[in-house]
Structure 1
Amino acid sequence: MSTPAPVLLISAQRTSTALLLAGAAARRGLETAVLTGPDTVRALTGRAVHWYGGPHLADRITEPLHLGLLEPPDDWLALLPRQLTLRTVKLMTHAEASRLRHPFFAKPPSDKSFPPGVYTDGERLPPAAPQTPVLVSGIVSFAAEYRLFLLDGALAAATRYAVHGRLDPAPLHEDPYAPAVRAFAARLPGLAPLPGAAAVDVGLLNDGHWAVVEANMPWFAHSYAAEPDDVLDVVRRAAGPYDRVPDGDRRFLRPAAGAPGHAPSDRP
Structure 2
Amino acid sequence: MNPVLLTSAQDTSTTRLLAEAAGARGLDTVVLARGVPAGADTVDRLAGRPVHWYGGPLAAARIADRLGLALLEPADDWLPGLPEEFTGRRIELTTLAEAWTLRRPAFVKPPADKSLPPAVYADGSRLPRTGERLGPDTPVLVSDPVTFGAEYRLFVLDGAVRTGSRYARFGRLDPGPVTTEAVAFANRLLAAVGPSLPSAVALDVGTLLDPYDPAERWAVVEANLPWFAHCYAADPGRVLDVVLRAAGPVDSLRPRDRRFVRGGSAAG
Q: Name the TM-score, length of structure 1 as normaliser.
A: 0.91
Give the C-alpha shift of residue 171 in structure 1: 2.5
Contact kept? 1:106, 1:137, Cα under 8 Å: yes
Q: Distance in 1 between matches of 2:177 and 2:86?
A: 23
Q: Which amino acid aligns with 1:206?
A: L
Spell out, residue by residue over 1:54-112, the C-alpha distance to the aligned partner (whole angstroms, 9 max, x if none). Answer: 11111111111000110001111010111110100000000000111000011111011
Q: Distance in 2 between matches of 1:247 and 1:116?
A: 33
How do residues 97-112 of structure 1 correspond to structure 2 at under 5 angstroms? 97-112=99-114
Question: Are residues 18 and 30 of structure 1, via their aligned partners in 2, closer, same or farther at CA, if it must alter by over 3 Å?
Answer: same
Q: Which of 92, 95, 112 matches 1:93?
A: 95
Give the C-alpha shift of residue 190 in structure 1: 2.6
Matched, 1:6 2:3: yes
**Equivalenced residues, count:** 250
Q: Which amino acid aligns with 1:196?
A: S
Matched, 1:134 2:140: yes
Give the C-alpha shift of residue 188 in structure 1: 2.0
Q: Distance in 2 between matches of 1:256 and 1:80?
A: 23
Q: Distance in 2 between matches of 1:191 and 1:87?
A: 18
How do residues 247-262 of structure 1 correspond to structure 2 at under 5 angstroms? 247-255=255-263
2:204 maps to: 201
Q: Name the TM-score, length of structure 2 as normaliser.
A: 0.91
1:28 maps to: 25
Q: Distance in 1 between matches of 2:28 and 2:87?
A: 40
Q: Distance in 2 between matches of 1:112 and 1:84?
A: 24
2:213 maps to: none
1:263 maps to: none
Q: Which amino acid aligns with 2:205?
A: V
Matched, 1:179 2:180: yes
Contact kept? 1:8, 1:25, Cα under 8 Å: yes
Q: Which of 74, 77, 83 matches 1:75?
A: 77
Spell out, residue by residue over 1:31-59, the C-alpha distance to the aligned partner (whole angstroms, 9 max, x if none). Answer: 00011111110110110100000111111
Matched, 1:217 2:225: yes
3-state SS of paired residue (1:96)? helix
Give the C-alpha shift of residue 256 in structure 1: 5.5
1:169 maps to: 175
3-state SS of paired residue (2:79)? helix
1:143 maps to: 149
Runs of at least 5 residues in structure 1 that lack an aligned partner in the other structure? 173-177, 260-268
Spell out, residue by residue over 1:200-226, the C-alpha distance to the aligned partner (whole angstroms, 9 max, x if none). Answer: 100011141000001110001111111
Q: Which amino acid aligns with 2:63?
A: I
Give the C-alpha shift of residue 189 in structure 1: 1.9
1:16 maps to: 13
3-state SS of paired residue (2:94)? strand
2:247 maps to: 239
Q: Distance in 2 between matches of 1:82 and 1:256?
A: 29
Q: Distance in 2 between matches of 1:77 and 1:239?
A: 21
1:190 maps to: 191
2:51 maps to: 49
3-state SS of paired residue (1:46)? coil
Contact kept? 1:59, 1:256, Cα under 8 Å: no
1:175 maps to: none
Q: Distance in 1 between matches of 2:127 and 2:163?
A: 34
Q: Distance in 2 between matches of 1:213 and 1:205?
A: 10
3-state SS of paired residue (1:51)? strand
Q: Compute the RMSD of aligned alpha carbons.
A: 1.2
Spell out, residue by residue over 1:124-156, the C-alpha distance to the aligned partner (whole angstroms, 9 max, x if none). Answer: 012331011110000111110000100000001
Contact kept? 1:81, 1:191, Cα under 8 Å: no
Q: Distance in 2 between matches of 1:30 and 1:225?
A: 22
3-state SS of paired residue (2:237)? helix
